[in-house]
Amino acid sequence: MMGSARRTAGIAAGVVASAMLVASLGPIAQADPVVAEQLRAKKPLRGITIALDPGHQLGNSNPAFASKLAQTRFNGTITKGCNTTGTATNSGFPEATFVYKVTRRVKKRLERQGATVKMTRTTNSYQRWGPCVWKRGQFGAKVRADMLLSVHADGGPASGKGFFVIVPGLVPGWTDDIAAKSQRYGKRLIEGMAKAGATRSTYISGQTLVWNDVTTLNFSDVPAVLVEVGNMRNAEEARLMRTRQGQNDYAAWLVAGVKAAVRR
Ligand SMILES: [Zn+2]
């Protein structure tokens, strides 16, 4: 039989427990599987590290840095340059700026869900260049990321729209360690993004290219996916890319893709 005194004590303990919950979620979550579950639901990416790589840099088009950008390195398949200017909308809105804005939003959103997020560049300035694509590729392992996501926008045929991914093929001595997993992550990223509302590419079949000569991907030692989030030469997508709302949409789609890719 449970006396009223014990019931009251039970309620009081409950009140204390919720107060403590607010004060310190950590220890209680460890002790209480229900709370731990609620925490996981709120921070589903806790323990996950994502390396985000906003493609290019605004200053890559600055002639002052021409010699820096002319550096080359062999990537396992061919020798390529340090970096490029990237594409732009017909009205001149640069890819470097667009992907930087989107990637910063992606970072915030992922962090809110518990992930640790590191970026290959933290500026978007005409006075800065690079980093070179091989550094971007190496960055994932450097920060012990679970995944490297390189974010770009395409300069495709004006009639085409939608997103697609580029994943590394098997390059012996280079991508043996990551090719299969990168391709799996790419597949999941596509499904996650599409489910969240992103438009699938109308000009890349299966929204996937498996390429052996992308320096960023070949230099990576963690699963790596390059995503072309849309086509800057398509008028409809260019309009979306320039607006705050559009940039938020692209960020939300990428976050959904990342979550699908790294799910355990
Ligand atoms: Zn690009």
Q: Convert the pLDDT of each residue in 91-149 to its tens digit.
A: 999 999 999 999 999 999 999 999 999 999 999 999 999 999 999 999 999 999 999 99
Following DSSP, what letter does each residue of 179-208 receive, concatenated? Answer: HHHHHHHHHHHHHHHHHHTPPBPSSSGGGE
Phi-psi group of 238: left, alpha or beta (phi > 0 → left; psi -120 to 50 → alpha; rest → beta): alpha
Cis peptide before 131 (omega within 30 of 0): yes
CATH of the domain spanning 45-262, picked from 3.30.70.890, 3.40.630.40, 3.20.20.70, 3.90.1010.20:
3.40.630.40
Residues with CB under 5 A from ligand 1 (ion): 55, 86, 152
The whole-angstrom separation of Cα 108 and Cα 235 is: 28
For residue 65, give both structure tokens: 């840095």
Q: Convert the pLDDT of each residue in 30-70 to its tens digit.
A: 678 888 787 777 899 999 999 999 999 999 999 999 999 99
Q: pLDDT-derived band of residue 255, with 50, 70 and 90 as boundaries? A: very high
Q: How far is the CA of 55 from the centre of ligand 1 (A)?
A: 5
Q: How far is the CA of 162 from the centre of ligand 1 (A)?
A: 15
Question: Could you identify the residue written with the tokens 């008028």?
Answer: 235
Reference 173, options 237, 77, 57, 52; nearest CA is 77
The whole-angstrom separation of Cα 258 and Cα 109 is: 11
What is the reported pLDDT for 217? Answer: 98
Q: How far is the CA of 62 from the centre of ligand 1 (A)?
A: 16
Q: Domain segments of the chain: what residues? A: 4-40, 45-262
Q: How far is the CA of 118 from the centre of ligand 1 (A)?
A: 19
C-alpha 11 chain-centroid distance:
45
What is the reported pLDDT for 19? Answer: 46
- Give me the amino acid identity at 71: Q
